[in-house]
A and B are shown apart, each in its own frame.
Chain A
């Protein structure tokens, strides 16, 4: 790769990092030029995060050379990296919730710059305005939205003389609008000469933002390109390898008997920030996937909690296979054939500190895994092993702690655990959120298969492409209200967008009448 010494900002070569049982980085070469927005692509577990942490000095490589602005260096920890002008925005924010925005930022600056908090607050305001990121320095971080917290992280990096900004999957926590704002900021930054290292597996974002890319697979570099010159398919191909089918069109299904019906389901949350649900009516048929679109925070969480039994309501407002389950506990519902994949993997889908075997038992304790009050660990273990094998879960073994798995692998495990119980109704919240392409394909495929076996499935997601791909019928939720639900082929993206914005009044009453009026 011909590059002038002067424009070369960071050059890694021969980077190697080995963990027990896993070669995270193997002979990696990475070259980032000044003012370049460089994508680091790869699936979960490809070694992206390890490489980023090596650059930021959080972990030390076993071997390899780091050249920063033409000078070979030894990175001695994050403080050193910051001194050099390297900033990093982590996927899981490294903010202190009980401190204010200004205090959080002060902590990461050299002492002399943070002495005068007044002046610092002013600088924070200036910089955040300059880059179009509104921030109030005096707010406590725990009162901020996720998007605003990310802005704090970025502003924190920008306050120092920044030359390289590393962003680890920054868009996975943002709404589409926040993503646009972030991209505007990053483009301004790049225009001012700052290099950006952008980790993602969302290819459209990479194509929009980046002018260089390095692709990793299984800890090795498998490709370099300019995303502007190649197609998304080519990029995806480099990420997942030759043998994975990329896109699949699934047959839409008709469905059979009604499996689940919501009858005027209403809910007033105790949480003052919760969403009130108003008279939801919905029927889900056995053998169909019903997709519910919507912007986060419009009642999805409340609806899922009501379906799973974490919140209890009037018995007859939820009917599963002819039984009123609205007042039943989660365990009772599961005994009737209900299964649930929550949005948060760690803490709700799985217990972080428990092994996969124990986590298997958690949601399937009513299955045939016990005898006379004793747990049959041999069976549980076999069950866990089956899931790991069948769903291609990458982990040390079945006794690995849930938190040691990457997001995608843990999600495959949780989905597998729920599906293997052969549920009659499966509710999935954001099934492929933050999951790499390969795992997403596997998960969607498993859902389709479960549908074909006759289960009713509800998928709540913000990923519209995904909903179009796998849903047989589709609807949207907005401000605690459900839009009409229609066969997916009949709902155009425009209509769905309107539904997501809460405009579903006249359109649903008589669509043909509206169309003829236009004609």
Chain B
């Protein structure tokens, strides 16, 4: 019976499957949800969601699917709702009267409400007992009961709380396809690490020790090996100025995270404007730096190249010819060619683009995307980019699914 809900979830990118369905069925059979939409919300969330990045999608799916179910579950008749439809305004009470109105505890109110629902057969307005409008009983709407159950006319009754919570979209900030905060970036970049044994041999190699001891006819022979150390080298280059200004804060965060990361053996950061013209600069003011031929000579093919930029510019800017110092030369190389040189040198390279993916099919973005594998500058995109950098295996297009 909750299968349509499962497909709703899958449509929104939550990979729920048979295992989750069985788990949920088991939980419901055990009565963990207390026959309550509220309870169902919490139980389903615990079993179907596996990461806080999915909570928002879950909330939305829940809201879409169960919107309107809440009142039906209490068997409110349409008639009752009709009585409440045209709420009658009650003349103002004087403060003393308001203070006199009884305040009941929630359990009591609930019990009374269900009792009244069974007894009530007709419309009541302005009274103090039945479910109606403008009255002082704890039930109904537009009334003066201080604490009670609001029926129709607004945000539902107690059953509506799960929907209210889902509707609040508290977890929107954790979605992995929108924001990138420093911590999430650090998490994504951490996957880039790789290890190699390097340095002084000060770690005991048990297997080798046993083998060596055995070869040594039982005389103990201890073999040591160098410990595992991080072995990832990264070249990070960023587009600055002009069309990149709106993303400056985002990209500078990426840079600060990358430079703080301790798991890179080497990290080089460079800047360029729009397109690479022979030279990558050391500062955002485009001073200092290194020419592309120098860079290619200095760093190996196994460095990982990460370009960050919107790749949006006037088409002619891709074909400006310059020499390696970045000066215009009619016999120099085109901007596009410089980019290709970089892409060819580094075995693993990616281009991170803060522009929304929808705009990637046109203009200079599409041209550059043919040179560099392009990923969105979101947590999800960064994760895919890192996977591509480490294994060369990517699930492209997964980010576009929403």
Do A and B associate with each other? Answer: no
